Amino acid sequence: MAPKTLFGLLIFLILLVTSTAFSFLFQGFNNKESNFTLSGQSNIDQHRGILELTRRENNIFGHAFYNKPIKIRNASVPQTRVSSFSTCFVFSIVSLSSRPGGFGLAFTIAPKTNFPEAEGGHFLGLFNTFNDMNASNHILLVEFDTVNGYKDEIDTEGNHVGVNINGMNSTRAEAATFFEKGQKEEFNMEKADFVCAWIEYDGKTNILDVTIAPHLDPKPSQPLISQAIDIKSVMKESMYFGFSASTGKRKASSHYILGWSFSLNGVAPPLNASLLPKPPPKEKDPSSFPWVKVVISVLSALTFTLLCLLFFVTLYKRYTTFETLEDWEMDCPHRFRYRDLHLATKGFIESQLIGVGGFGSVYKGVLPSTGTEVAVKRIMRSPRQGMREFAAEIESLGRLRHKNLVNLQGWCKHKNYLLLIYDYIPNGSLDSLLINKNFALDWDQRFHILKGVAAGLLYLHEEWEQVVIHRDVKSSNILIDGDFNAHLGDFGLARLHSHDQVSHTTSVVGTIGYIAPELTRTGKSSTRSDVYAFGVLLLEVVAGTRPVSSSGQFFLVDWVLENRQLGQILEVVDPKLNSVYNEEEVELVLTLGLLCAQHKADYRPSMKQVVRYLNFDDPLPDITDWRHYDSQSSTASFGFYDARSTGKTTTSYSISSIGRTTMSIESGR
Ligand SMILES: *[C@@H]1O[C@H](CO)[C@@H](O)[C@H](O)[C@H]1NC(C)=O
Ligand SMILES: *[C@@H]1O[C@H](CO)[C@@H](O)[C@H](O)[C@H]1NC(C)=O
Ligand SMILES: *[C@@H]1O[C@H](CO)[C@@H](O)[C@H](O)[C@H]1NC(C)=O
Ligand SMILES: *[C@@H]1O[C@H](CO)[C@@H](O)[C@H](O)[C@H]1NC(C)=O
Ligand SMILES: *[C@@H]1O[C@H](CO)[C@@H](O)[C@H](O)[C@H]1NC(C)=O
């Protein structure tokens, strides 16, 4: 062998050593774990033989690097060029067909294999906000991104390929296209079954070529990117080669590598498509999986059954706990649904209770349909008979409307209860205001209240289509609103009379102290007996004293009359007024009270006349004409003794009113 040839062989051997040709080829990754450094969420799917960088799961990333660092340059000689390399790989991006995925995958050359401080999403698990684009990263990557969004002005295409150095700001980016027969063809990397990529770096010319295609053969003749790029400053002496991928907070795709070949200072060995593992199917929509369909149909069936059950339970509950209607009830516009009242009063709970009396309980409520405040009076009712007639009566009472009445809005029957729905009046009853030690109604307020009650009573007696006798005019039945207007309430006791009929009720109803004398003897209510009670009320409001003392020794009417006869009528005025009042008005009210509360019914004025007197429209008749009264000073009270001794009325101040009315209706008709 000639020494010249020997020398040539030596040169060749030296060249071979310095250029350190090196290559590998992975057609699938079965049993190749030992050849890789995996980090993050990446793993090798032994079943399919594919390298899985990320699952379709939000906010994760994964890396897979060839486990040995590859010596790419001699760093101790700054001028030494970076070795040429060539690589080819096949990847697959799988997302739901109905929803676009994210984020991306990158071929990565890095000085390390682990990036614990990196973020997912558009940082691909390699960088974070602080070290993005920092030259100390020493990372070169070729990204295959499917998401448009990060730094739109640079990476303009969602479906793009980019060359990046040290960060996510691409040195060069191109929409995903390939050249075939001289034609530029765009293709969607996410929709393609798989993508083949070739990356070649020429250490002599510093040109990086990137080529992609949706197939391995043939490799497109023209690269997508051909970029002059000096990577000397990026490359350390030894670098790890591999892949990174990430998913976003909301967008996620699975990223798979199916095969990979690499060569340093040479051409990457070709991958054989028929030997590569099959990528997982694209259609991963839940609906496309039979078992998901089964689960969904089972769930739907279950839901349907539950809904049916719920429906029947509700129906059953409504049927049993809520009312069943009789035919006639359908025609009652003032009938309320029990369900609404139950809701309005929160199920008649204690905290909604605003009053309790012999008649039952009164609850405050807010109607769910309109949001209006109401008072709901709940009364135990006697047997079913007579209900229809009672309802008819309530229906007609429900049509009464006056500003000085506590208007009855409606009614409802439920089991053994009768419920009456009234306007809610906030300030409470007149009697509670009169006896309140910490509060005094002034004279103007009292006079205004009395005029209001008179107006309400006049409406009942004469101004409505039928004569309505209240039968229980008393201070506790008068409610006062925020503007000190009087509202006469509880005319549930009232019996309806057509104008030409006379009442023949047998039971005596009313409250001690307000019961006209003739009532206890004849039991006959009339508008005049209401006037009597109103007369007592006039005196009560001026004097601030109950009409009868609880001992039964004191009678307001007698006391006022005595003082009047002694010429000192103003002596009876409520001391809480502090002598601040209009004398003329007070005298008028007291005198009118006596006039109304006189023994003989026929001599009492009508409510129309009362209203005229209160307005000073007519002068009061001369007191000397009241002869029948003068001689009856004790007879006026006789009726009460009579009533108490015969036991016809209860001694309680608040007699059960509605309950008795119901009874009287039931027995009377
Ligand atoms: C992969 O690892 C195995 C076992 O360590 C080794 O024999 C083989 O040469 C490696 N292959 C490559 C391409 O490095
Ligand atoms: C790097 O280059 C220097 C200077 O030419 C040389 O001495 C050294 O052996 C080289 N190192 C390698 C690993 O090739
Ligand atoms: C780049 O990173 C290095 C090392 O982490 C740090 O010292 C330097 O300040 C960083 N430079 C910039 C511009 O952030
Ligand atoms: C990103 O790249 C563009 C040009 O490609 C450059 O103008 C810009 O300054 C770069 N931004 C950063 C943060 O490096
Ligand atoms: C690819 O592999 C198949 C099966 O082993 C073989 O028949 C075929 O010739 C190979 N193709 C190439 C281009 O090597």
Give the ligand with the smallest distance to the CA of 136: 3
What's the number of CA atoms in the CB half-sphere (13 Å) around residue 81? 15
For residue 287 and ligand 3, the question of a CB distance below 6 A is answered with no
Q: Does a structural domain hold residue 617? A: yes
Give the ligand with the smallest distance to the CA of 154: 4
Do 306 and 364 have their domain in common? Answer: no
SS (H, E, C) 259-311: EEEEEECCCCCCCCHHHCCCCCCCCCCHHHCHHHHHHHHHHHHHHHHHHHHHH
Q: How confident is the model at residue 649 (pLDDT cuts 50, 70, 90)?
A: very low
Closest residue by Cα to atom 6, ligand 1, is 35
Q: Does a structural domain hold residue 665? A: no
Q: How does DSSP classify residue 463?
A: I
Helix (H) and strand (E) counts in the chain: 14, 27
Interval between CA 221 and ligand 1 midpoint (Å): 32
Entry field: residues in the chain: 669
Interval between CA 253 and ligand 2 midpoint (Å): 44
- 151-183: per-residue pLDDT in tens? 444 444 578 899 999 998 889 988 889 988 888
**CA atoms of 325 and 391, how far apart (whole Å):** 13
Show the domain range for 184. Answer: 17-271
Substitution candidate for ligand 1 out of 29, 33, 34, 65 with most atoms within 8 A of CB: 34
pLDDT at residue 244, as a whole number: 96
Q: Does a structural domain hold residue 525? A: yes
**CA atoms of 500 and 554, how far apart (whole Å):** 38
- 572-630: per-residue pLDDT in tens? 999 999 889 999 999 999 999 999 998 888 889 999 999 999 999 999 887 655 545 54
For residue 262 and ligand 1, the question of a CB distance below 6 A is answered with no
Q: Which atom of ligand 5 is nearest to the CA of 217?
A: 13
What is residue 602's three-state secondary structure? helix
Closest residue by Cα to atom 10, ligand 4, is 169
Sequence letter at residue 378: R
What is residue 442's three-state secondary structure? coil
Sequence letter at residue 439: F
For residue 35 and ligand 1, the question of a CB distance below 6 A is answered with yes
Q: Choose the final residue of a domain: 423, 456, 485.
A: 423
Decide if 528 contacts 516 (C-beta within 8 A). Answer: yes
| pLDDT at position 381 over 60 | yes
Q: Averaged over 240-267, what is the pLDDT?
A: 92
**CA atoms of 518 and 655, how far apart (whole Å):** 19
**CA atoms of 486 and 397, how far apart (whole Å):** 19
Four-point Cα dihedral 528, 533, 538, 542, nearest 10: 160
- 54-91: per-residue pLDDT in tens? 988 888 999 999 999 999 988 777 778 899 999 999 99
Do 313 and 358 have their domain in common? Answer: no
Do 234 and 368 have their domain in common? Answer: no
- 181-230: per-residue pLDDT in tens? 888 888 888 888 899 999 999 999 999 999 999 999 889 989 999 999 98
Closest residue by Cα to atom 1, ligand 5, is 272
For residue 241 and ligand 1, the question of a CB distance below 6 A is answered with no
| pLDDT at position 570 over 60 | yes
Do 97 and 245 have their domain in common? Answer: yes
Q: Which atom of ligand 5 is nearest to the CA of 273?
A: 1
| pLDDT at position 275 over 90 | yes
Q: How does DSSP classify residue 499?
A: T
Do 255 and 109 have their domain in common? Answer: yes
Q: What value, to the nearest 5°, has the Cα angle with vertex 167 and ends 162 and 170?
A: 25
Do 182 and 231 have their domain in common? Answer: yes
- The CATH number assigned to the domain holding 409 equals 3.30.200.20
Substitution candidate for ligand 1 out of 35, 36, 67 with most atoms within 8 A of CB: 35
Q: Pocket around ligand 2: residues whose beta carbon is below 6 Å from it?
A: 74, 76-77
Going from the C-alpha of 475 to that of each of 168, 431, 451, 467, the distances in angstroms are 86, 5, 14, 22
Is 472 annotated in the active site? Answer: yes
Closest residue by Cα to atom 1, ligand 2, is 74
Closest residue by Cα to atom 9, ligand 4, is 169
Do 415 and 479 have their domain in common? Answer: no
Do 369 and 497 have their domain in common? Answer: no
Spell out a b/e string for 261-277, using b for 16 or more CB atoms within 10 Å of the CB, else e: bbbbbeebbebeeeebb
How many domains is the chain built from?
4
| pLDDT at position 663 over 80 | no
Q: Does a structural domain hold residue 540? A: yes
Do 137 and 78 have their domain in common? Answer: yes
Interval between CA 277 and ligand 5 midpoint (Å): 14
Q: Pocket around ligand 5: residues whose beta carbon is below 6 Å from it?
A: 272, 274-275
Per-residue tokens: 161? 């390929």
Decide if 540 contacts 475 (C-beta within 8 A). Answer: yes
Tell me the sheet residues that pair with 178: 185
What is residue 403's three-state secondary structure? coil
Q: Does a structural domain hold residue 284? A: no
Q: Averaged over 101-113, what is the pLDDT?
A: 91
pLDDT at residue 497, as a whole number: 35
The tokens 């030494």 sit on which residue? Answer: 80
For 5, other C-beta atoms within 10 Å of its C-beta total 9
Closest residue by Cα to atom 8, ligand 1, is 35
Q: Does a structural domain hold residue 437? A: yes
What's the number of CA atoms in the CB half-sphere (13 Å) around residue 226? 6
Per-residue tokens: 130? 């602080």
Q: Does a structural domain hold residue 12? A: no
Interval between CA 68 and ligand 1 midpoint (Å): 10
Q: Which atom of ligand 2 is nearest to the CA of 77?
A: 2
Do 252 and 381 have their domain in common? Answer: no
**Nearest partner of 208 among 189, 186, 223, judged by Cα:** 223
Q: Does a structural domain hold residue 287? A: no
Give 3-state DSSP helix, strand, coil % of the chain, rounded to 5: 30, 25, 45
Tell me the sheet residues that pair with 233: none
Closest residue by Cα to atom 13, ligand 1, is 24
The tokens 């075939």 sit on which residue? Answer: 180
Q: Choose the final residue of a domain: 375, 402, 423.
A: 423
The most distant pair of C-alpha atoms in the chain lies apart, rounded to whole Å, by 169
Q: Averaged over 513-541, what is the pLDDT?
A: 89
For 579, other C-beta atoms within 10 Å of its C-beta total 8
- The CATH number assigned to the domain holding 449 equals 1.10.510.10
Interval between CA 244 and ligand 5 midpoint (Å): 29
Do 347 and 452 have their domain in common? Answer: no
**CA atoms of 307 and 64, how far apart (whole Å):** 50
Substitution candidate for ligand 3 out of 117, 134, 138 with most atoms within 8 A of CB: 134
Give the ligand with the smallest distance to the CA of 167: 4
**Nearest partner of 636 among 516, 539, 541, judged by Cα:** 516
Q: Choose the final residue of a domain: 404, 423, 442.
A: 423
Q: What is the DSSP annotation of 90-129?
A: EEEEE--TTS----EEEEEEES-S--TT--SGGGTTT--T
pLDDT at residue 212, as a whole number: 95
**CA atoms of 292 and 35, how far apart (whole Å):** 37
Percent of the chain with pLDDT over 90: 38
Highest mean pLDDT among 85-99, 331-345, 533-547: 533-547
Do 393 and 474 have their domain in common? Answer: no
377 is in an annotated binding site: yes
Burial class (CB in 10 A: 0-12, 13-18, 19+), 88: buried
Interval between CA 276 and ligand 5 midpoint (Å): 11
Catalytic residue among 132, 155, 472, 574: 472
Interval between CA 400 and ligand 1 midpoint (Å): 101
Decide if 111 contacts 164 (C-beta within 8 A). Answer: no
